[in-house]
Structure 1
Amino acid sequence: MKNFFLLLFFFVKSVSAQEKLEVYFDFNKSEINTKAKIKLDSLIASKNKSEILKIYGYADSVDTNKYNDSLSSKRAKSIFNYFKEAKVAISNQFEIKGFGENYSQSKNLDKNRKAIIFFKSILVQKPKPNPNNSETGNFDSLENQEILNQFLASEKSISEKFKNAKKGDIIIINNILFQINSEKLADGSSQIILDLLEYLKNNPKLKIEIHGNICCNRNTNDVKLSYRRAKFVFDYLIKNGIATARLGYHGYGSARPIYKIPEKSYQEELANRRVEIEVIEN
């Protein structure tokens, strides 16, 4: 009996660790739309590593049963491919399934065109920063959260930043933030990259170069991390339809700090750790 309750405890704990995320599709579409991408990117960029357990696709009751079965399966497959391309961990017991219209449907048809992702968050130990070849500082310190919030609150929108920009101008975008010692986006930074993407789509003559900068590193020749961060933004824009001919990227490491290194405050670290956009043609 004792062993039974012990097994039951671990079973309940395992089930409770499972989380889920719902994303919605446009009518009669299996392609991932902009709003769904924001949700998926936020999960991918989370500080905790995620392991995907199941992906279930659904459809509304419009059209035939056979068609909706196929559509719901395609929706689930689209989500799977998106995670696979982002190299998200997939469970060995992964399940993918399309339910078509055969489930308890909502009266709101928009809510029936969806996929549900079941995943498990895995806490991973962060590597200790190496001051000789990486970014250090207090980026993840809880006591600095209020400072970070104030810092980001003063940021202007992408359209405001580019409003009077001309060729050769360098625009600082402080709210594209990355996890410490990583080119993975920090929580909450997906929206600003999406705003940049939309601005580029709405201004087809604009050509830019993306500059990556880091803080806290006295070795100005170490540009690897800043290069990877600039390339992350570059790749995101290319992947979402911006022509390669309109974009460039460069990593400057800590060679162009706004504040002298070592920084004297957390605010100075934030200012040095930034993405810049140089206007090449407008």
Structure 2
Amino acid sequence: MKTLFLLLLFFVKSVSAQEKLEVYFDFNKSEINPKAKIKLDSLIASKKKIEILKIYGYADSVDTKKYNDSLSSKRAKNILNYCKEKNISISNQFEIKGFGEIHSQSKISDENRKAIIFFKSILAQKSKPNPNNSENGSFDSPENQEILNQFLASEKSISEKFKNAKIGDIIIINNILFQINSEKLADGSLQIILDLLEYLKNNPKLKIDIHGNICCNRNTNDVKLSYRRAKFVFDYLIKNGISTSRLGYKGYGSANPIYKIPEKSYQEELANRRVEIEVIEN
């Protein structure tokens, strides 16, 4: 009964509707230990009703600052990977950080070796097309799901796309997809942005411009939606540690289609509705 009571406490809502769960790690370890898994699995039991907002990793003050920065980041990433393996919903505005030893250190060392998972309760909602908005194609119809799966399966990884890239090259990223007439990400698209973020961190000389493109719109002057989508990617990268001096963004609407508008097939819509990355400096 005591255990059940403690588990229920993890899900008591805060005033702001944002909740958090703290899990602790063994000394000098980033792997999730059994006690932490019990807490996480309790959270995962409500996976249809929660969304992960942020994961922050921390370390004690033993060892060097550089080592502790790395250790805290690994702890946060391992929590993220565990949540993704369990199909937990990840927010479009998701943030992940490792704070190392730079935080309010507890006198009890064990309490400093932790990760904090911030989450909120969610209700399932379905997006509905609006005929007055700028992008209305057939891309969310159920019969096209297999076509979409095949389209995305053919995509190369970020590292493969950027391999041998030169200044001025335009790299097409088809698997950053958005909800209908929205800059909110479609399911499964966050991972490719996380991959882009990691690539930028590992290649600090790389500078890019982010280009947003839409499909299905004859009005080439209607760039608002594509602009917001490009800005979403820009903001996410900035929020997670990439300098503004390395990034730019622009929305092109339907002015640069790969296939002539109106598109003749669902595949053509997918190809036109894309994010592009221009290499500015490498």
Smaller-chain TM-score bracket: 0.5 to 0.7
Q: State the Cα distance separating 1:68 from its structure 2 match.
A: 5.7
Segments ≥4 residues shifted beyond 2 Å = 15-43, 63-72, 123-128
Amino acid at match of 1:123: A
- Looking at structure 1, the residues matched to 106 and 46 of structure 2 have their Cα atoms a distance apart, in angstroms, of 36
Q: Where does residue 219 of structure 2 map in the other structure?
A: 219
Q: Where does residue 238 of structure 1 map in the other structure?
A: 238
Q: State the Cα distance separating 1:212 from its structure 2 match.
A: 0.2
Q: Where does residue 124 of structure 1 map in the other structure?
A: 125
Amino acid at match of 2:135: E
Structure 1: runs of 5 or more not aligned: 1-14, 47-62, 81-116
Q: Equivalent pairs: percent with the same residue?
A: 70
Q: Where does residue 261 of structure 2 map in the other structure?
A: 261
* Larger Cα-atom Rg: 1
Q: State the Cα distance separating 1:34 from its structure 2 match.
A: 3.5
Q: State the Cα distance separating 1:71 from its structure 2 match.
A: 7.5
| Native 8 Å contact 1:218 1:262 kept in 2 | yes
Task: Report the 3-state secondary structure (helix = DSSP H, G, I; strand = E; otherwise coil) of the residue aligned with 2:276.
Answer: strand
Q: Where does residue 90 of structure 2 map in the other structure?
A: 43
Q: State the Cα distance separating 1:216 from its structure 2 match.
A: 0.5
Output the aligned Cα RMSD. 3.3
- Looking at structure 2, the residues matched to 215 and 150 of structure 1 have their Cα atoms a distance apart, in angstroms, of 19
Q: Where does residue 76 of structure 2 map in the other structure?
A: 33
| Native 8 Å contact 1:42 1:190 kept in 2 | no
| Native 8 Å contact 1:17 1:121 kept in 2 | no
Q: State the Cα distance separating 1:183 from its structure 2 match.
A: 0.7
**CA pair 199-43 structure 1, distance change in 2 beyond 3 A:** closer
| Native 8 Å contact 1:25 1:36 kept in 2 | no
Q: State the Cα distance separating 1:120 from its structure 2 match.
A: 4.1
Amino acid at match of 1:247: L
| Native 8 Å contact 1:17 1:120 kept in 2 | no
Amino acid at match of 2:166: K
Structure 2: runs of 5 or more not aligned: 1-44, 61-70, 94-104
Q: State the Cα distance separating 1:21 from its structure 2 match.
A: 7.0
Task: Show the 5 A alignment for 1:1-282.
Answer: 19=49, 25=57, 28=60, 33-36=76-79, 39=83, 42-45=89-92, 76=116, 79-80=117-118, 117=119, 120-124=121-125, 126-131=127-132, 133-282=133-282
- Looking at structure 1, the residues matched to 182 and 142 of structure 2 have their Cα atoms a distance apart, in angstroms, of 19
- Looking at structure 2, the residues matched to 231 and 17 of structure 1 have their Cα atoms a distance apart, in angstroms, of 29
**CA pair 258-42 structure 1, distance change in 2 beyond 3 A:** farther
- Looking at structure 2, the residues matched to 64 and 122 of structure 1 have their Cα atoms a distance apart, in angstroms, of 36
Task: Report the 3-state secondary structure (helix = DSSP H, G, I; strand = E; otherwise coil) of the residue aligned with 1:268.
Answer: helix
Count of residue pairs brought into register by the alignment: 210
- Looking at structure 2, the residues matched to 18 and 192 of structure 1 have their Cα atoms a distance apart, in angstroms, of 23
Q: Where does residue 93 of structure 1 map in the other structure?
A: none
- Looking at structure 2, the residues matched to 134 and 169 of structure 1 have their Cα atoms a distance apart, in angstroms, of 28
- Looking at structure 2, the residues matched to 170 and 274 of structure 1 have their Cα atoms a distance apart, in angstroms, of 12
Task: Report the 3-state secondary structure (helix = DSSP H, G, I; strand = E; otherwise coil) of the residue aligned with 2:233.
Answer: helix
**CA pair 218-149 structure 1, distance change in 2 beyond 3 A:** same
| Native 8 Å contact 2:129 2:181 kept in 1 | no
Q: State the Cα distance separating 1:42 from its structure 2 match.
A: 4.3
